[in-house]
Chain A
Amino acid sequence: AQKVTQAQTEISVVEKEDVTLDCVYETRDTTYYLFWYKQPPSGELVFLIRRNSFDEQNEISGRYSWNFQKSTSSFNFTITASQVVDSAVYFCALNMLTFGGGTRLMVKP
């Protein structure tokens, strides 16, 4: 069975703080894909990153960075110097078939 756990249901930070969203997954597959999506209040899911199980390199894109560790089955997402526009619900997904419960991030000015 496949499972994705986002233990943090809600996080509140003040603008310019760094914040890390946790994602832990379970799968017996050796080949799999992990995703992060952002869902702003408008409701439409916005793609952030896709990573396959063979690529454990961390990735940085602007203020966003991702830490993929197969040893702990985790794929964590960090926003550096958060901004109010980062306020949204963030979802981690496994193969786009199993989703975590989402983490609601609120960034206050």
Chain B
Amino acid sequence: KAGVTQTPRYLIKTRGQQVTLSCSPISGHRSVSWYQQTPGQGLQFLFEYFSETQRNKGNFPGRFSGRQFSNSRSEMNVSTLELGDSALYLCASSLRETWETQYFGPGTRLLVL
């Protein structure tokens, strides 16, 4: 069974631009969660989607948004990029709930210049 895939793997953007990251969960998994990892703040939960609905949300500004499609694939969008948005963005999937075992993708490394 294929694992969680994320595209692109690396991305360079400039301040003020917007970016869209994509995540394909493990087949059969319906819950997709997104996390941000930075050296300063560590691993932080962004949001979680299930059945195309955002079910949980972390403490991030509205510039961070996401969505989930009917095939459980998910995208996250960051608008008006700031230097502090430079991070590794990780996507994870589980069968139904965030508290079930989550399997992570390789991440997208975003650099904002």
Contact = CB atoms under 8 A, between A and B. Distances in A.
Contacts, number: 45
- Dominant secondary structure of chain A at its interface with chain B: loop
A102 B42 contact: yes
Interface stretch (B61-69, B74-82, B100-108): B100-108
Interface residues of B, number: 21
Interface string A37-79: 1000011111100100000000000000000000000000000
B105 A97 contact: no
Nearest to A45: B104
A43 B4 CA distance: 14
B104 A44 contact: yes
Contacts of A96: 33, 45, 92, 98-99, 102
A47 B101 contact: yes
B32 interface: no
Contact of B43 (A44, A47, A91, A95): A91
